Structure 1
């Protein structure tokens, strides 16, 4: 059986968790506590970069959420989460990359920086640009890949979830807001939502990890 190493509070892990549930893949969940378990020698053998998620499928290990989602789609093709039509397929990959490279870093700044700081203000402006792009890309479709859920929706929806939990007002983007609410009603998404306390724990753990990284960098 496929083994899924994760922590519920990790947005990267929730991407894969939702992918597994949406594709109805049977798996063994293995919780990695991010207060030190990720640094254990046996876990570092799986992921030397001490991140979650990791999957091990019949002895084959995959790290990095986007790579895992691609693997799951190739290995377990039904139900399909990547369209076959070339333009739709490109759109799905494009949205995944924009969400990962443009949205998520700015979402982190929005959550953790002071509202009057230049970094926060710039992040909010950049998020607005991303949301305008997403609105245009979505068009009149139910999902980014057309009328059915795709990997783009899983990745972008999981990243936007962080902003929604932090009080970002999605109602200024009606089409995107409708799409997001549609996602939140799906069984896999209801099952993987964070409570308010779990979200606060995510923020505390994130700050601890970032502090460790800064200290380690200062020693080198």
Structure 2
């Protein structure tokens, strides 16, 4: 049976978790506690970069959440979560990449930066641009690129639900609010919804990792 190495505090983990549930793929969970389990030798043999999520399927290991999603879509193609029409497929890929490269880094800024800082204000402005882009990409569709759930909904739908907890009002984006409400009615989203306690743990972990990263940069520049 497929093994899924996870921790519920991670949005990247949630991408894979949602896909496994939506595709109804049988899997066994292996909880990785982020207070040191990810650095233990037995886990480093699975992922030397000490990140989650990881899956091991029939002895084949896949790291990095977007690569895992592509693997699951290819091996378990029903229900299909990637459209075949070129424009629809491009929409799915754009939403995935914009979430990973434009939205999620600014979520990190909202968590780490002081609310009266220029960086915090810039992050909110950038998130507004992303949500407007998503509104156009969604158009009149039920989901991104399709009338059926796609991997774009999986990826964006693991991050956008964090925004109201960080003071971003989705009511200002009515089409996205309706999309978000459709997702939250699905059992997979209800099962994987991050608890208030886990969300606070996620924020604490973000602050520690950003502080550590900036310290390393400062040391390298000396």
Q: TM exceeds 0.5?
A: yes
Q: Please name the residue that 1:151 is paired with.
A: 151
Taking the aligned partners of 2:165 and 2:42, their CA distance within structure 1 comes to 33
Distance 1:217 1:36, change over 3 A: farther
Contact kept? 1:6, 1:53, Cα under 8 Å: yes
Contact kept? 1:111, 1:163, Cα under 8 Å: no
Contact kept? 2:55, 2:62, Cα under 8 Å: yes
Q: What count of residue pairs does the alignment treat as equivalent?
A: 220
Taking the aligned partners of 2:204 and 2:55, their CA distance within structure 1 comes to 25
Q: Please name the residue that 1:38 is paired with.
A: 38
Q: Which runs of 5+ in 2 are unaligned?
A: none
Q: Is 1:97 the equivalent of 2:97?
A: yes
Q: Please name the residue that 1:120 is paired with.
A: 120
Q: Please name the residue that 1:181 is paired with.
A: 181
Q: Which runs of 5+ in 1 are unaligned?
A: none
Matches within 5 A, 1:21-100: 21-100=21-100
Moved more, 67-76 or 207-216: 207-216
Stretches (4+) displaced over 6 A: none
Q: TM-score with structure 1 length normalisation?
A: 0.95
SS in 2 for 1:47: coil
Taking the aligned partners of 1:54 and 1:218, their CA distance within structure 2 comes to 31
- RMSD of equivalent CA atoms: 1.4
Taking the aligned partners of 2:217 and 2:43, their CA distance within structure 1 comes to 22
Q: TM-score with structure 2 length normalisation?
A: 0.95
SS in 2 for 1:52: coil
Distance 1:115 1:216, change over 3 A: closer
